[in-house]
Structure 1
Amino acid sequence: MALSRSLRRTSPITLILATILAIGFIFFLWDPSSSSIPATAHQRQEDAAAHPLSPPTKPFPKKQPQRADGHQAPPPVVHYHMNDLTTSDTSAERGERVLILTPMMNFYQGYWENLMKLQYPHEFISLGFILPKTSEGNAATVALQEAVAKTQSGPVDDRFASVTILRQDFDPPLQSQDEKERHKIENQKARREAMGRARNSLLFTTLGPSTSWVLWLDADIVETPTTLIEDLTRHDKPVLVPNCYQRFLNPETNEMDVRPYDYNSWMESDVGLELASNMGPDEILLEGYAELATYRSLLAWMASTDGIEYDPNRVVELDGVGGTALMVKADVHRDGAMFPAFPFYHMVETEGFAKMAKRLGYTCWGLPDYFVYHYNE
């Protein structure tokens, strides 16, 4: 059979190349990996950190470049344009990165499930944890790693930009983490100084140049609104804390009820100032103890629990803040506000942080009618 004029004039090389292209096109169409990667996965790959030394605020690249001789290439010089970094009341729309930091003694499944429900785009959230090297800390680390591995290998939209897990390089001052033991007044100074050290280690290790906001979220916070990040950043405050309550079974009514839990968010009083003025340099004031009645105005008691004047957007100025759920503009930390592990104007840890922030010219705020809930031990 005679070939047509067009085929007789076609080069065999052209036919071979056309066949290869056709086979490649068919393979691309039927390759399951090409259709299973959603656009968000590709965007995350494009948004990966520039090199392995990049601060953990972006996804890390899985493969690092190598030189022609097979050795690992040195990390490049990276320029960070921090003047372009924003902290606004439309954080999600602007893609502002949030760093959620959690000092963890025990792993609560409710904490992780609540974290997973946050509606803020997870691709803009980095997580950081610090755990002690104790038997409880070891068990919590194993449980945390399992939860992280499951999430980071699951649906792309559920994955966080990066996760950092640190272990404390110092022994905790208390061997028992029983709630009653933790809250004894004689244990507070050593305990909270150690907590300050842990928070600072976590902060200084994980805060990167792409971070706009830092959300301190305690490991025993098991219930928050799913819009927690959007709700807090919408106020555009340098330091903002919601009211921390706890659900419990009321023995008097035999029904579920709520009660205040965190008493570390307050407005200063003349009595508190007078007590501090008569203290030695290494003494600290504590809130919520009858032995040190400061008569401060506590955020816990400002809530409109009767529902008559309830307003979740109502804000009040504070002099002290707790750390159960604390939203901070990253620039406040960059300017030097940390968690003093030593008496700072007779305050330590989160209350000392509030004092530092105020000394740097920032104002601390609280939301009396916006609630997060603490695990009930």
Structure 2
Amino acid sequence: MAVTRSIRRTSPITLVLAAVLSFGFLFFLLSPSSSSATATSTKSRQDDAADHPLSPPTKPFLKNQEYRSNGQRAPPPVVHYHMNNLTSTADPLANGERVLILTPLVRFYQEYWDNIVRLSYPHELISLGFIIPKTKEGNAATSALQAAIATTQSGPIDDRFASVSILRQDFDPPIDSQDEKERHKIENQKIRRESMSRARNSLLFTTLGPSTSWVLWLDADIVETPPTLIQDMASHNKAVIVPNCFQRYYNNDKKKMDVRPYDYNSWRDSDTAQALAQQMGPDEILLEGYAEMPTYRTLMAYLADTGEERKQNKVIPLDGVGGTALLVKAEVHRDGAMFPPFPFYHMVETEGFAKMARRLGYESFGMPNYFVCSLNASTRSDL
């Protein structure tokens, strides 16, 4: 009786609504997803897909994939790198060793680009990497660099590089002006060089690949090197090696163009410098080339023989290195040697790198009679 009474009291409208809702629920569960939404999602993923399985992890690998006989998409191939077979030898050209040229860049100089294009090392074995600050000046440098890259990479095959990467810094530069005098003020050195260390490390850790044998650090204002720079430096088969960096200028006394030392960060240590370091606080750093901080180190800049008959292949041991043109075996970086953005034995950036490399068992060397030249803005028209 209870059941019959309940049914009798139920409104026909209620039953109709219940039936409609039930049908709608079943249709929702059983119907396929919207084809338009699926198509849009698939197209978005394909447009953002990478062409190669060794793509950044944020890029899905969807393009140019093969399908199996059953119509299912095959997974991307697994690529094996035999790191024990990777070499960095005195004859990188004969062994086909890949070189990564890295440059922190604030201003773009066409002379810099023209110089690396003239390098005689096979360009198909050279990859380039740049890191540029997100500033107005950095934006201009990025545009100029991209234009130069487009010209070279669409030009003669032999001039084209294997790959080019451009990074933008995710932190602001510590000083606004990039004028030479402002950059080299002693009060700006610690924050400036700590910032440079962060930029160098970001660039290195992002671009160093499993097939890289050598890393050449080249400053953006290095506008003149021998075309055989890579082969000449690598021929000594040193883990860390640096040439002497000079700058061309007009000598008023001689009434002609001359050269002068530019990079003072390549040196042999002294007892005076070590004594100064022992008296410093944990956050203080030693700086080279400043009268306010005499270290009496032996500077490679002053050991140069500028004569025509000089022995360019002369090599000397160093305790500190500059970064204007610094060649490093990739294994040194892989073993953990980076550019400390903090006082490391009272040194930062490239000098701190040399100290860190030594702690890992790698010695640093310099070529006092082998020259590269930095841009001098006041004599730029004479280059």
Which TM-score bucket, shorter chain as reference?
0.7 to 0.9
Report deviation, 1:68: 4.8
Residue 174 of structure 2 contacts residue 192 of structure 2 at CA under 8 Å; is this kept in 1? yes
Match of 2:94 in 1: 93
Report deviation, 1:67: 5.5
Match of 2:334 in 1: 334
Instruction: Give yes or no for the alignment of 1:325 onto 2:325.
Output: yes
- SS at 1:340 equivalent: coil
CA distance in 2, matches of 1:268, 1:73: 59
Are residues 354 and 73 of structure 1, via their aligned partners in 2, closer, same or farther at CA, if it must alter by over 3 Å? Answer: farther
Report deviation, 1:253: 2.1
Are residues 159 and 306 of structure 1, via their aligned partners in 2, closer, same or farther at CA, if it must alter by over 3 Å? Answer: closer
Match of 1:51 in 2: 53
- Normalising by structure 2, we get a TM-score of 0.81
Residue 101 of structure 1 contacts residue 203 of structure 1 at CA under 8 Å; is this kept in 2? yes
Match of 1:376 in 2: 376
Residue 65 of structure 1 contacts residue 72 of structure 1 at CA under 8 Å; is this kept in 2? no
State the number of aligned residues: 322
Residue 263 of structure 1 contacts residue 287 of structure 1 at CA under 8 Å; is this kept in 2? yes
Deviations 1:297-317 (A, max 9, x none): 001001012456x21010000
Report deviation, 1:164: 0.3
Report deviation, 1:367: 0.1
Report deviation, 1:372: 0.1
CA distance in 2, matches of 1:128, 1:214: 10
CA distance in 2, matches of 1:68, 1:86: 37
Superposition map of 1:1-377 within 5 A: 51-53=53-55, 64-66=63-65, 68=67, 75-307=76-308, 310-377=310-377
Report deviation, 1:134: 0.6
Match of 1:59 in 2: none
Match of 2:4 in 1: none
Identity percentage over the alignment? 69
Deviations 1:304-335 (A, max 9, x none): 12456x21010000000000000000000000
CA distance in 1, matches of 2:339, 2:74: 38
- SS at 1:201 equivalent: helix
Amino acid at match of 1:351: E
Amino acid at match of 2:106: M
CA distance in 2, matches of 1:287, 1:265: 9
Residue 321 of structure 2 contacts residue 351 of structure 2 at CA under 8 Å; is this kept in 1? yes
CA distance in 1, matches of 2:76, 2:319: 44
Residue 67 of structure 2 contacts residue 74 of structure 2 at CA under 8 Å; is this kept in 1? no
Deviations 1:174-212 (A, max 9, x none): 011111100000000000000000000000000011000
Report deviation, 1:50: 5.4
- Normalising by structure 1, we get a TM-score of 0.82
Structure 1, unaligned runs of 5 or more:
1-48, 56-62
- SS at 1:347 equivalent: coil
Report deviation, 1:267: 0.2
Amino acid at match of 1:217: L
CA distance in 2, matches of 1:256, 1:105: 27
